């Protein structure tokens, strides 16, 4: 990955920061996309682009900014997302749109913009969507989130089909329950249930997800496109009955 330019959205969050750190450690030039520059704690000022990805024009501006500074873009990780809890029956249109726009539509626009640059400059590249195991197994209160993540999984497959002839690969990574500083305090019963049932016996970390993204961005996966890589400690094989 030495010298390759990779854009990472949601770089201010726990998983996003881990992805940035992992890519920088292997020599990649990372363009960190954040909502505000105060949300990122890594990278030089030239590697940070602060913008609202829900602005329809923002993705193209972000790609232009990266290309103007670094001359090209070799990879993209669509990591930005939100996960509010709202019951299905009481969900408003605005609550639905906020999650779909942030988690799905913004990723679509940015993928289009990056793909246009890659195709126009004749460069091969790799795009990775951060999805979730909830994209195939919904959780209560997360219907809009699950729908958006399911959409991202299919978006990666559809984009891979059309962009493959241009040398652009598109895949997704679906994490399971990822640890964060306040998770145990916020949801002790969920953490206990997960660790008791997951075959690998622990929560995931941001770096577990980052390693999967690095694999899909690198030449180690050069014949892989249109796939969803599940990173959940084996929880997806646990029988629910």
46-55: long-range contacts at Cβ-Cβ below 8 A with a sequence spacing of 24 or more? 48/11, 53/9, 53/80, 53/102, 53/106, 53/109, 53/110, 54/101, 54/102, 54/105, 54/106
Known catalytic residue at 145: yes
Q: Which two tokens stand for residue 219?
A: 């030449």
Q: Which two tokens stand for residue 69?
A: 């500074």
Name which of 154, 57, 167, 185 is nearest 115 in CA terms: 167
* Catalytic residue, candidates 11, 31, 125, 145: 145
The CA–CA distances, whole Å, from 232 to 13, 206, 210, 224 equal 19, 12, 13, 20
The residues annotated as belonging to the active site are 145
């Amino acid at each position: 990955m030495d010298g390759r330019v990779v854009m990472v959205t949601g770089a201010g969050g726990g998983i996003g920061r881990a992805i940035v750190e992992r890519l920088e450690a292997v020599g990649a030039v990372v363009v960190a996309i954040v909502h505000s520059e105060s949300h990122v704690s890594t990278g030089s000022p030239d590697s940070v682009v602060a913008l609202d990805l829900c602005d329809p024009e923002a993705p193209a501006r972000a790609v232009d900014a990266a290309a103007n500074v670094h001359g090209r873009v070799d990879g993209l990780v669509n990591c930005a997302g939100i996960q509010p809890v709202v019951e299905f029956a009481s969900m408003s249109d605005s609550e639905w749109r906020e999650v779909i726009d942030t988690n799905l539509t913004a990723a679509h626009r940015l993928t289009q913009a990056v793909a246009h640059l890659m195709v126009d400059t004749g460069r091969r590249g790799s795009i990775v969507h951060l999805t979730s195991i909830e994209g195939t197994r919904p959780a209560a209160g997360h219907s809009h989130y699950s729908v958006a993540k399911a959409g991202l999984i299919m978006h990666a497959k559809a984009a891979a089909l059309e962009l493959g002839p241009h040398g652009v690969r598109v895949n997704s990574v679906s994490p399971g329950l990822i640890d964060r500083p306040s998770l145990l305090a916020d949801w002790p019963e969920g953490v206990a249930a997960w660790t008791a049932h997951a075959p690998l016996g622990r929560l995931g970390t941001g770096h577990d997800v980052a390693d999967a993204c690095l694999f899909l961005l690198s030449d180690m996966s050069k014949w892989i496109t249109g796939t969803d890589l599940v990173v959940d400690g084996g929880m997806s094989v646990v029988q629910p009955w």
